Amino acid sequence: MPKIDKSLYTKEEFRKLKAARRLEKQKKAVQSALVSTDIPVAVPRLNNSKIGFVLGNGKSRENINLNILKQIGTVYGCNAIYRDFLPDYIVAVDTKMVLELNSNGIQHKVSVWTNQNKAYFHMTGFNFFNPSKGWSSGPTALWMASEHDYDEIYILGFDYQGLGENFELVNNVYASTYNYKKNHERATYFGNWLKQTTTTIQKNSKIRYIRVLAERPFVPKELTNLSNLTHISLDEFKKRFAV
């Protein structure tokens, strides 16, 4: 966009013009990020299995055929997962991600859950946690799945550990895309995610949780003494469900 000549406008006109240009820039950024993305059609489940799959966006789940999982059980995803795949439920608590979901009408395609926020209270189709958990999207999705009466819940893409030689780089399928950190940026501290995950598993002792490990497996000590949580390798998971 050409530079604005402030001398041609009053202070109020200039403020409104800048706000309009920012909005236009944001819309173009969203469209640019999604220009090659075909929103998939939801795949119906083939049975009423008591298995749930909760998908974080760590890169360990990147090459799994998610459509097959949806035929086996109920799938919960987070944030920008809709760009590649429509799970049964999407949880998004970040305002920018909720606005992105709304701009593509995703809440009218699948069940989208978020916290109440004045930025989107007027938008239709969203489901609101009441009260809000105040948690991050991944752990909130795990908590939500745990409320839905499954015998087993598989946890994928909850890698915690960053990428790079020293595990310092952001670990996310959507890194360097709209609304996400760049690949070269530092990984977000995972302490809160881990605490929230551990709390959910501890409070649901009758559910069997199975966490799928990345190729460079990392098991935080907080997850080592939970009797209802086990860990399996990515290869074992792929063989178990032919994904």
Using one digit for the tens of pLDDT, what is the confidence trace for 179-236?
A: 999 989 999 889 999 999 999 999 999 999 999 999 889 999 999 999 999 999 999 9
> Distance between CA atoms of 230 and 206, rounded to whole angstroms?
13
Amino acid identity at 95: T
Tokens of 7: 């001398």
pLDDT tier at 12 (50, 70, 90 boundaries)?
Answer: confident
Tokens of 25: 């820039």
Tokens of 93: 């608590």
Amino acid identity at 102: N
Is-contact 87 77, C-beta < 8 A?
yes
Residue whose C-alpha is closest to residue 222's, from 189, 197, 188, 204: 197
pLDDT in tens, 115-136: 999 998 889 999 999 888 899 9
Is-contact 100 80, C-beta < 8 A?
yes
Q: Which of 41-50, 59-68, 87-96 has the lowest mean pLDDT?
A: 41-50
Give yes or no for residue 49 having a pLDDT over 70: no
Amino acid identity at 233: S
> Distance between CA atoms of 38 and 41, rounded to whole angstroms?
9
